[in-house]
Amino acid sequence: MSEIQAEFELSGRTAIVTGGGVGIGRATAAMLAEAGARVVVADRDRETGERTAAEIAEAGGLAEFRAVDVSQRLEVDALVEATQSAHGRIDVMVNNAGIISDAPFLEISEEDLDRVHAVNFKGVFFGCQAAGRVMVDQGSGSIVNLASGAIDVATPTLVPYATSKAAVAQLSRSVAVELGPFGVRVNAVAPGFIDTPMNERHASGPDGRLDPKKHGEVLAARATMSPLGLTGEPRDIALAVLYLASDAGRFMTGTVLRPNGGATMPW
CB of 1 to ligand NAP, least distance (A): 31
- Using the minimum distance from each CB to ligand NAP, give the nearer residue, 5 or 170: 170
Tell me if 191 contacts ligand NAP by CB under 6 A: yes
| Binding residue (CB under 6 A) for ligand NAP from 15, 33, 40, 68 | 68
Residue 84, H or E segment: helix 73-87
Q: Is 146 in the site for ligand NAP (CB under 6 A)?
A: yes
Q: For residues 223 and 194, is the Cβ–Cβ distance under 8 A?
A: no
- Phi and psi angles of residue 39, each rounded to the nearest 5 degrees, phi first: -115, 130
With binding defined as CB under 6 A, does residue 71 bind ligand NAP?
yes
Total of residues contacting ligand NAP (CB under 6 A): 31
Judged by beta carbon, residue 147 or residue 176, the one nearer ligand NAP is 147
Region of 171-179, 196-204, 209-217, 243-251 interacting with ligand NAP (CB under 6 A)? 196-204
x/- site string to ligand NAP, residues 208 to 247, per CB under 6 A?
----------------------------------------
Query: Is residue 14 involved in binding ligand NAP (CB under 6 A)?
Result: no
- Whether residue 69 contacts residue 99, with contact meaning beta carbons closer than 8 Å, is answered with no
Nearer to ligand NAP, 38 or 165 (CB): 165
**Choice from 14, 21, 187, 236 touching ligand NAP (CB under 6 A):** 21
| 45 belongs to the binding site for ligand NAP (CB under 6 A) | yes
- Determine whether 161 is an active site residue: yes
* Count of helix runs (H) and strand runs (E) in the chain: 9, 7
Separation CA 124–CA 95 (nearest Å): 5
Question: Residue 262: left if φ>0, alpha if ψ -120 to 50, beta else—which one?
Answer: left
Please enumerate in sequence order all residues whose Cβ is within 8 A of that of 198, keeping only pairs 6 or more positions apart, or say none: 23, 98, 99, 100
Q: CA geometry: angle at 260 spanning 248 and 264, to 5°?
A: 125
Is residue 152 a contact residue for ligand NAP (CB under 6 A)?
A: no
Contacts of residue 208, Cβ cutoff 8 Å, sequence gap at least 6: none
**Using rule CB under 6 A, residue 99 touches ligand NAP:** yes
CB 67 within 8 A of CB 44: yes
Options 161, 167, 171, 234, the catalytic residue: 161
So which residues are the catalytic ones?
A: 161
